[in-house]
Structures are given as C-alpha cells and as structure tokens.
Chains A and B, each alone.
Chain A
Amino acid sequence: MNDPQVAAAVAVSDRVRTPWSEFWRKFKRQHVALVAGGFVAVLVVLAILAPYIVPFDAENFFDYDTLNSPPSWKHWFGVDPLGRDIFSRLLMGSRISLTAGFVSVAVGAVIGTLLGLIAGYYEGWWDRAIMRLCDVLFAFPGILLAIAIVAILGSGMANVIIAVSIFSIPTFARLVRGNTLALKHLTFIESARSIGATDWTIVLRHIFPGTISAVVVYFSMRIGTSIITAASLSFLGLGAQPPTPEWGAMLNEARSELMTSPHVAIFPAVAIFLTVLAFNLLGDGLRDALDPKIDQK
C-alpha cells in the first residue's frame, strides 16, 4: 500500500469502494466474461420461456414429410429421424441441462460449504471424519461415483441430479476447509470471539463471507462440469430417457443415424459446448475479478 500510485488513485476517487463496486470495476474489464455472462443470461431467459416460444411440440410433433431433413426456414435446425423439430427439442432440453447443472452444484455447494466450515473451524475429530469422507468420495474416479449412485437409485434425471450433487460435495468441502483454516487465526476472528460471539456467529458472519469469493468462482466452473456429467449419464442411457429432449440423450439417439443425418448430432453437441464454454469463461472472469493476486500483474 506504500505505492504512491495506489495512494493517489484511492485519494482521487471520492466514491466509497464497496466490495461490490470493486468487483464490478474489475469484472467489467473482462470482455470475454461479460459476453459469456450475457450468453448465460439469454440462455436462462430462453429456458424459462421455452414452453411458450417453441415453434413445435418437442416430444409429440412428428413431421412425416420431412424426416431427417437438414435445416430450413420451417425447421431452423432441421428434423430428426422421427420427424421431430430439433430447434424445439434443443430449447426444451436447455431447461433440463441448466436445471441439472444449477441444482446439482447448488446442493453440492451448500452441503460441501457447511462441511468445510465445520471441518476447518472445529478441526480435531470433526475435521478427520469429514476429510475421511471426502477422501472416500474422491477415491471413486470421476463419473464412476455418479454411475454407482445411479446404479443404486435407478436411472432417471432426478437421480442423476442427486448423483452429481454428491459428486460435487467433496470439492467444495475441501476448498472451504482450506480457506476456513487460513481465516480462523486472523485477528478479527479472535476479536469477535473475545467479545463473546458464539461459534455459529463467528462461522456464519465472519468466516463464511471470507470464503464466498472462492465458492462463487468454483460454483460457476462447476456448473459446466456438471452439465457435461449429467449429459454424459444421459448419453450412457442412465439419465433422461427418450423421448425426453435432454441434450446428451439426443446425441445418443443421433448416433445410429450419424452417417445419413449428421445435423441431428451437431446441434445438440454445439448446444452443450456453447453452454459449458459460457459457464467456464464466466468462471474464469469471476476468478480474475475476485482474486486479489491477479490485480497486481
């Protein structure tokens, strides 16, 4: 803070710098992330409005005259082998993929953050038990844990969401635990304790806000991963079942007709790619805006 330039900058700006305005100041410099965030916003609006704006019924409209036809004015993204409009199916599918991505990460983040706070704050027995649990969840490589959970619960989108949530818990728990351990020995925590704040007040009012930026960054990145995981499970036939217009399930259906009508596969693949890419770029931008280390470079 002894840097004269920094001091001058602080003196010149007469506005109060809240964490929010500070975040926004840095975030709006990230043009790619801004575009990605805009794309996500449009996608969310489209997904909410999908049932009212789809040109055709996604599951029960069959155009037998144009089976397998490539994109046209009537069918923007073409028609699949059963005569269904691919554009409509993609729009309806966005509801499933976005919900799966968001809900599963939200559940995983809430449970993981709580576990991480408890482990980091109390240490000792709690810490060992929670971290051992995470080790065990981590011992199942990648998507395998989700497959095992779906094997127990049965296939279906709801079970896929449960599986992906459980899959997200240990990463959030570890992340938050690390931050909690670093924060709990700082002076402001000690002062809170010395004026008689309860453990819960300290953890929720003083430590938790300090971990939020890391959680938010990870949340955004994780949504991309979770959308891919959920789509992969549907692709494997363990998630959404046909005729549900889930993007992974659509790709699986398109596989047998890949030679004759590649457009049936291309559009769902591009939809997954762009959606996940947007969340990843948004996550990168959030990280750069929220990480104090980056600003100095």
Chain B
Amino acid sequence: MLQYLAKRLLGLIPTLLLVGILVFMLVHLLPGDPARLAAGPDATPETVALVRKDLGLDLPLPQQFLRFVKGAVTGDFGRSMRTKRPVSSEIASRFAPTFWLTVWAMAWSVTIGMAIGIASAVWRNRWPDRVGMTFAVSGISFPAFALGMVLMQIFAVKLAWLPAVGADSWRHYILPSLTLGAAVAAIMARFTRSSFVDILQEDFIRTARAKGLGEPTVVAKHGLRNALIPVVTMMGLQFGFLLGGSIVVEVVFNWPGMGRLLIDAVDMRDYPVIQALVLLFSLEFILINLVVDVLYGVINPTIRYR
C-alpha cells in the first residue's frame, strides 16, 4: 500500500511541473507587456523599467520560472495589481468558503445520486427507474447558473425560507450546494445505474441468490462493493467538475469564494491573482484525484499490486 502511494505521488510531479509551466506562461502569452500593465496606463518609461526589474521580468525566462516556483512553494504570488495587497492574503479568506461549498455539494450529490442509481438498477424499467432517470437526464441538461437563479427566486425571494447571498451560516450553504451538486448527482445516478446493471447480471450475483440470500443482502453485500469501483473513479472526475462549477455558482449567489475572485480578476486583468487561483484550483483537483486513487486501491486490491 505504501509503495502504491509513493508511486502515485511520484507520478504527480511531471503533471504538477507542466501545470506550473502553463500557469507561469499565462503572463507571457498575454498580448502586451506585463510590466506596463502592472505599472499602470500613465507610467513613464522609467517607472515601467523599474517595475520590470522589481517583478523580475528582465531576467531570462528559466530564471523567472525558478523565481515563480520558489514563490509558489512558499505561498508568495506577488501582489494583486488591483488592490496592491499580497495575493496570498487576498486568497486566504476565500479558500474556506469554496472548499466547504464543494465538499457539501459533493457529499449530498454522491449520496443521493448513488441511491437513485441503485434504485433505478434494482427496479430496472419500472417506475423508480423511469422517475430516477428522468430526473438524471434533466439534471445534466439544466445549466447550474439557471438552476441557481430558479432556486434563489423560489426559496429566498418568494418563500423567504433561506438567505440568498453570503456565506455566514449553514443556512447560506443550502441553496448554493444544491445548485452546484445537482448535475453531479445526475451524473452519479446515471453512472451508478449502468455500473449496477452490469454487476447484477454477473454469475456471482446469481450464485448469491441461488444460495438463498435475500435481495437486500445481495444488493448491499455482493453488488455494492463491485459496482463501486468504477463509481469511485467517476467521483474523482466529478470533483473537478464541481470545482469548476463552483466558479459559476459563486457568481450567482455572490459567494465570497475563490471562484468569484477569479472572475473579478479576469475582468480586471489582475494576472498575479489569476495565476495563483488557477494553480490553486488545479492543485486541489490533483490532490483530490490522488485521494480517490488511494481509495480505489483500498476498494480494489488488484489495482495495488500492478
């Protein structure tokens, strides 16, 4: 198990490095001179030269990259062009709301999605299946921003049961996490169903039934564990979808998280902030996938020894 973990960790290094290079190149792929951008529109050539030296933009590219990596590892991403505050302190307060939003969305959507998928597979082609799959195909077809607007209109404005914007209490989390998780619940339901349908046709399921086990035991003990293997992989991929989706949902609910900060930064062309956020989002996604991979190894022993 440890060896497996070490192998997965080492495998991350090239990907991380390439992601780092891409994010680093972001500034250099931009049209225009980053030093000029940072100095402001009415800076004199002397000021621009000073800013260029200050930001290290006069160094050769490889050296600049090393500086960037060193900064990134120590959490130093320079200063925001807009507020002039260090990027790390801009982001610090924004991390937790986004993190918890995605975690809650993931928790409910995986539980509900899998429950619907299992019910649909067990009662295949009967009404629970039809209802479940209608919900699922609608869920993947309704855009999150539209769903957010609808939920907000109904539950926050018309009924006034829940707050519409902000992230102060657990009640603030309900609508955004429902919005964010809906598509994932739908995808998990579809995926769990097809995985379960395949498993329920296996010989060992017939054997389990033949030896007189009750249907709940067959489904829970013999079906679930085997059907879960592809479902867990899917979960890792869906987390990426959630992290990306949180950007849209945060804008709808005016959520004080990293997603809204990113959109503001893109609007303002605040490149240090964009760089840091893109890197952080990707890092979070890569780490979550690592966790999923390890989980996968726990569920499926044959993977570990390859």
Whether chains A and B associate is: yes
Residues of A in contact with B (beta carbons under 8 Å apart): 132, 135-136, 138-144, 147-148, 150-152, 154, 224, 228, 231-232, 235-238, 248, 251, 255, 258-259, 262, 265, 268-269, 272-273, 276-277, 280-281, 284, 297
Partner of B141 from the list A139, A141, A224 (CB cut-off 8 Å) is A224
CB within 8 A of A273: which of B146, B239, B267? Answer: B146
> Is the Cβ of B245 less than 8 Å from the Cβ of A269?
no
Contact A147 B157 (CB under 8 A): no
Nearest CB in chain A: distance from B117 CB, A: 15
CB <8 Å contact, B26 and A152? yes
- Neighbour of A232 across the interface among B26, B141, B145, CB < 8 A: B145
With A237-B263, A269-B142, A269-B150 known, 10 other A-B pairs at CB within 8 A are A141-B239, A142-B244, A144-B278, A148-B278, A152-B29, A152-B30, A248-B143, A251-B145, A258-B153, A277-B141
Contact B244 A136 (CB under 8 A): no
- B137: Cβ under 8 A from any A Cβ: yes
Bound CA–CA A295/B138 (angstroms) = 25
Q: Are B278 and A140 in contact (CB under 8 A)?
A: yes
Residues from chain B with Cβ under 8 Å of A228 in the complex: 143
Chain B residues near A248 (CB-CB < 8 A)? 143, 145
Chain A CB within 10 A, most for which of B152, B266, B274: B266
Residues of B in contact (CB 8 Å), total: 46
Residues of B bordering A, CB below 8 Å: 14-15, 18-19, 22, 26, 29-31, 137-138, 140-146, 149-150, 152-153, 157, 201, 239-245, 247-248, 251, 262-263, 266-267, 269, 274, 278, 281-282, 284-286
A111 to chain B, nearest CB (A): 18
The one of B18, B150, B247 in contact with A143, judged by C-beta atoms closer than 8 angstroms, is: B247
Task: List, in ascending order, chain B residues with CB within 8 A of A144's CB.
Answer: 243-244, 247, 262, 278, 281-282
Report whether B146 and A251 are in contact in the complex, using a CB–CB cutoff of 8 Å: yes
Give 10 closest A-B pairs by Cβ, nearest first: A142-B244, A141-B240, A277-B141, A141-B243, A269-B146, A143-B244, A276-B141, A141-B285, A136-B18, A141-B244
B267's partner among A136, A237, A269, A277 (CB-CB below 8 A) is: A237
Interchain CA distance A268-B19 in the complex, whole Å: 36
Given the known A-B contacts A142-B241, A276-B141, are A269 and B149 also in contact in the complex, defined by CB atoms under 8 Å? yes
Cβ–Cβ contact A139 & B243, under 8 A: no
Given the known inter-chain contacts A139-B285, A144-B282, please indicate yes or no for A132 contacting B18, CB distance below 8 A.
yes
A280 touches B282 (CB 8 A): no
Distance of B46 from chain A, by nearest CB (Å): 29
Q: With both chains docked as a complex, state the minimum distance between the C-beta of A48 and any C-beta of chain B, in angstroms.
A: 23
The chain A residue with its CB closest to the CB of B285 is A141
Are A273 and B243 in contact (CB-based, < 8 A)?
Answer: no
| Alpha-carbon distance between A281 and B245 when the two chains are bound, in angstroms | 22
Residues of A within 8 A of B31 (CB): 154
The distance from the CB of B275 to the nearest CB of chain A, in whole angstroms, is 9
Q: Given A132-B14, A142-B240, A147-B266: A236 and B142 within 8 A (CB)? A: no
The 8 Å CB contact of B26, one of A151, A231, A273, A276, is A151
Contacts of B143 in A (CB 8 A): 228, 231-232, 235, 248, 269, 272-273, 276
A143 with B248, Cβ < 8 A, contacts A136-B15, A238-B266, A272-B143 known: yes
Contact across chains for B278 and A255 when beta carbons are under 8 A apart? no
Residue of A nearest to B267 (CB): A237
Residue of B14, B251, B282 touching A236 (CB-CB under 8 A): B251
A170 to chain B, nearest CB (A): 12
CA distance A142 to B187 in the complex (A): 14
Chain B residue numbers with a CB within 8 Å of A284 are 137
Residue of A nearest to B143 (CB): A228
Residue among B30, B274, B282, B284 having the largest count of chain A Cβ atoms under 10 Å: B282
Query: Residue B282 contacts which of A139, A154, A237, A265 (CB distance < 8 angstroms)?
Result: A139
- Closest A residue to B251 by beta carbon equals A236
CB-CB under 8 A from B137, the residues of chain A are: 277, 280-281, 284
Cβ of B15: which chain A residues have Cβ within 8 Å of it?
A: 132, 135-136, 139
How far does the alpha carbon of A136 sit from the alpha carbon of B13 in the complex, in Å? 11
**What is the distance, in angstroms, from A25's C-beta to the closest C-beta of chain B?**
21
Assuming A251-B145, A273-B141, A280-B137, is B19 touching A139 (CB within 8 A)? yes
Closest to A155 in B: B266
Q: List, in ascending order, chain B residues with CB within 8 A of A297's CB.
A: 201
